[in-house]
Structure 1
Amino acid sequence: MKKIAIIVLTVWTLTACNDREETPSGMAVSFSFSHVLDGNPLELEGDAFTLPSGESFTPRKFKYYISNITFKNSISGSSYTVSDGYFLIDEAGKKKFSVEIPSDDYDALTFYVGIDKARNLSTDQVGDLDPSNDMAWNWNTGYKFLVLEGEWEYESDERHGLVVHIGSNDPESEQNFKAINFDLASAGQSLGSEAVVQLDFQAELNELFMDPNELILHELENTSIKGGKWAVNIANNYQEGFFTLQ
């Protein structure tokens, strides 16, 4: 009996050790972003799209910052925020990045569009905060959070420029620095002990123009939006319904 007990204990110990060895201490999480306009893949300098308010729009540039990424375990209350994680997503360039995080049963995720106050007013260039990325304001310290540029026309052949540069025109309140929250569990994307995880996000540009604030270009006096009421309205639009986890 003693020999049998020793054998059973040895097998159990080896199995437990193997289980511990198979659970990684960290995981690599890859973020991938795709962009659509009215459900169609976004194409810069390509065919024109019809915006929700009827304008014909040809996009020329689209990019934005993702930052302050935090994974949460709502059961244990634990969380992990990626340190110095500032990532520029550019339709004409990089649309993917990866982060290393400790293993945990994460069931919620938050990231922000834009740059937080502390880093926005700093000259430390961590992550993608390099002025050569053409996301720094020319006349002031700080960064553009989201940029959309192109040309539009409405009921004529006369073309107009659209310049949307959203930053924080009130750094103290960070009013355009918006949190985007995801319930990983409900999306079937809870993170457990996997060593590598892929998260795919899609951004629908129509949402910038319609929800919750309708933006009708042909009714605006000026379609160069770099601050003020419409910058805030667009920031509120990209906080709600702009991103979906695929």
Structure 2
Amino acid sequence: MKNATKYFALSILTLALVSCSSDDNKAVANKVTLEFANTFGDKPLVLGDANSTIATVNTSVEGQVHHFSEAKYVISNIRLVKNDGKEIPYHINDLDQGATVINQAKVSSLSYVLRDIPKGEYKQIKFGLGVRSDLNVLNEAKFPVFYAAAGANDTEMMWEWGTGYRFTKIEGFYEADHKTLSIHTGSTVEDDDTGALVQGVDAYRDVTLDLPVLAQVGKSSPRIVIKADFNALLSGKSNTITLSSGTGSEDNATPNVHTAVQMTKFVDNLGGNGTSDLSGMFSILEVKN
């Protein structure tokens, strides 16, 4: 009887250990949530029409008062960098699974969940503002989910002439008489000597951000809060821009007027110039482990 009791106790202990081991495996979290906080400086971005009394108003370094009625941008080519320097790509060649449109007017779009991230400590995040040139084709058959999201009525992140996606779309008003502010960025195409379309201005920008503390993927699911400070649109690290609404080559307030050269100034401010500035308007507010 004593032996039976011993065997019974041993069985219970073994079952408990197996159960604990199973629970530990279930506790391993492999999700990372990116939370985008759009601002003017330290003020949360609130959208509004020309006469809005609640829209967040910003003043550039050149003294131009402006506010937005629309603010959208594409995030893609996401990579997390481990503490040992190993880079973990997240569906970088699949726009359906690895790209999203951040839309300030759509609260659900401000969080983007990365799934099946390998367990470990992460020190850095990299992502693209826009779409890499090799993927920047309006291909509904290949990426139907992203194509539908980018083309939705509340998004409109496609060029009308069908050569690719818009990377950022900003609408608003500036100065006391509420002149129209309309900044659309995206890569351009042009004809080569044979008449074939080739890459023109590449508006895609690769952003690199160091995390203030390591993101611990494992027993927790980290949330990385990324600030996008739209003060950089006119008062960026690369360019100080004054908006003008004329029809000359230096005028830049609307997309039907500003040239690719003018557009590139906005691109460098928002996404960095790719050399001396790799962060543009983005920074890390916090990491929540």
Global fold match (TM > 0.5):
yes
Structure 1: unaligned runs, 5 residues or longer: 1-6
Contact 1:201 1:244 in 2 (8 A): yes
Matched, 1:245 2:284: yes
Which of 37, 40, 65 is the aligned partner of 2:40?
Answer: 37
Change (3 A) 1:58 1:109: closer
Alignment deviations for residues 110-132 of structure 1 (CA, whole Å, 9 cap, x no partner): 11110122331141334433212
TM-score, L = length of structure 1:
0.81
Q: How far apart, in 2, do the equivalents of 1:40 and 1:78 lie? A: 33
Compute the displacement of 1:241 (Å): 3.9
Q: Percent identity?
A: 20
Aligned to 1:128: 146
Q: Superposed, which structure 2 residues align to 1:180-219 within 5 Å?
A: 180-184=207-211, 187-210=212-235, 211-218=237-244
SS for the counterpart of 2:222 is strand
Of structures 1 and 2, the larger Rg is shown by 2
Aligned to 1:63: 72
- Aligned residue pairs: how many? 232
Aligned to 2:31: 28
RMSD: 2.9
Name the aligned partner's letter for residue 114 of structure 1: G
Q: Does 1 or 2 have the higher relative contact order (CA < 8 Å, sep 6+)? A: 1
Which of 134, 138, 143 is the aligned partner of 1:118?
Answer: 134
Q: How far apart, in 2, do the equivalents of 1:152 and 1:56 lie? A: 6
Contact 1:55 1:218 in 2 (8 A): no
Q: Superposed, which structure 2 residues align to 1:158-169 within 5 Å?
A: 158-169=177-188
Q: How far apart, in 1, do the equivalents of 2:81 and 2:161 lie? A: 38
Compute the displacement of 1:47 (Å): 5.2
Matched, 1:87 2:100: yes
Change (3 A) 1:222 1:109: closer
TM-score, L = length of structure 2:
0.70
SS for the counterpart of 1:144 is coil
SS for the counterpart of 2:68 is strand
Aligned to 2:193: none
SS for the counterpart of 2:62 is coil
Contact 1:166 1:227 in 2 (8 A): no
List, as ranges, runs of 4+ consecutive aligned residues in structure 1 with deviation greater than 6 Å.
none
Q: How far apart, in 2, do the equivalents of 1:221 and 1:34 lie? A: 30
Structure 2: unaligned runs, 5 residues or longer: 1-9, 49-54, 190-197, 272-278
Name the aligned partner's letter for residue 62 of structure 2: S
SS for the counterpart of 2:61 is coil
